Amino acid sequence: MKFWRSKRNPMVSLLVLLAFSCHLASCAGVQAPQPKVVLPAASYPHAATVKGVTVAAVVFDPRRSLYASPFDPKPARSGFDWFKAGVCPIRLIIENHASQVVLVDPTQFTATDAGGVTYQPYNAQEASDAVIASEAFAAYVRGAVAGAILGAALGAAAGAAVGAAVGGGHWAGRGAAIGAASGGTEGLVLGAGANRAELELRVRGLLSMHQMQPKALPAEARHDGLVYFPAKDLRQLQILLTTGSGEPIKVEIPVTVPRPPAVPAPEKESPAGEGQ
């Protein structure tokens, strides 16, 4: 699909594209929620069972949703990189197959990095402060101000078009990427925002809403939530639980932090006549 663009007045093009994007959004209507698939905790790649309690860990990967099935072959959507913003969200799935209540207290969880340093998790406010203070978040907000995210909220194609009208190919690419992330995903999707204050509120709301809460877990019950560790090269989680009688249950889970493959820089063209 080709979008008309005025060579004389870019704002005219922008208004036309926004009107067209709004028409697309009105036609789309309310999107159906994504099915919430429940898989046994033991079926996840990073899982361990101790004394009848199984804990699975899903480490944040910018190429996948934290809530996607580990067996889903579909290509992942790109979006806000929480790791670059200083936080490594980890989804924990806890299943109690023991015969008694198990007490879950996320403040007793720790993670150890490749250098042997162990970290306690951030609470939602600390994680939000780290994200909001990061350059990655500032860059995301600058994209919104430039208009790419505004257009991307209406879909990847429209986002790319509006981004192109405002700032050329650079913003077009960002608009398309964020537009793709805004549609049909669940979990820590930051999406679009009109200004920095709105996006800051969204960060705080998302991290608070998804944070794992303390819970007394009855037999055969399941608990699911996120914990937020510093963005480090984490290698192992230590999940300390207790039974109703006070007996400790320590579950250790080896993990890896997925990072996208490095994209090689394009080779620079040699000046004319060089090497001849």
Residue 265, in any domain of the structure: no
Are the C-beta atoms of residues 158 and 24 closer than 8 Å to each other?
A: yes
Same domain, 53 and 181: no
Residue 31, in any domain of the structure: no
Longest CA pairwise span in the chain (Å)? 81
Same domain, 116 and 233: yes
**Total Cβ atoms within 10 A of residue 245:** 7
Helices (H) and strands (E) in the chain, counts: 7, 10
How high is the pLDDT of residue 163?
Answer: 44
Regions of the chain where pLDDT drops below 70: 1-31, 33-34, 75-78, 144-187, 192-193, 260-276
Same domain, 119 and 135: no
Q: Which domain holds residue 161?
A: 124-210
How high is the pLDDT of residue 135?
Answer: 95
- What are the distances in angstroms from CA 7 to CA 12, 136, 172, 196, 213? 10, 33, 17, 31, 55
Token pair in block for residue 228:
């937020």
Residue 235, in any domain of the structure: yes
Q: What are the beta bridge partners of residue 103?
A: 216, 242
How high is the pLDDT of residue 181?
Answer: 39
Q: For strand 109-113 and strand 47-50, is the pairing parallel, antiparallel, or unpaired?
A: unpaired
Nearest-angstrom CA–CA distance, 201 and 88: 19
Same domain, 199 and 219: no
State the total domains in the chain: 2
Are the C-beta atoms of residues 175 and 160 closer than 8 Å to each other?
A: yes
Same domain, 236 and 119: yes
How high is the pLDDT of residue 143?
Answer: 79
Q: For strand 47-50 and strand 215-217, is the pairing parallel, antiparallel, or unpaired?
A: unpaired
Same domain, 112 and 248: yes
Residue 26, in any domain of the structure: no
How high is the pLDDT of residue 71?
Answer: 84
Q: CA-based angle 20:25:30, to the nearest 5?
A: 170
Same domain, 57 and 153: no
Q: Which amino acid, one-letter code, is at 243? A: T
Residue 145, in any domain of the structure: yes
Residue 2, in any domain of the structure: no
Are the C-beta atoms of residues 17 and 6 closer than 8 Å to each other?
A: no
Q: E strand or H helix at 14, and its extent? A: helix 10-28
How high is the pLDDT of residue 259?
Answer: 73
Nearest-angstrom CA–CA distance, 192 and 153: 5
How high is the pLDDT of residue 75?
Answer: 52
The residue out of 210, 234, 267 marking a domain boundary is 210
Same domain, 221 and 151: no
Residues contacting residue 87 through CB under 8 Å, at least 6 positions apart: 122, 127, 130, 131, 228, 229, 230, 231
Residue 176, in any domain of the structure: yes
Nearest-angstrom CA–CA distance, 175 and 22: 16
Residues contacting residue 192 through CB under 8 Å, at least 6 positions apart: 144, 149, 150, 152, 153, 178, 182
How high is the pLDDT of residue 147?
Answer: 55
Same domain, 192 and 238: no
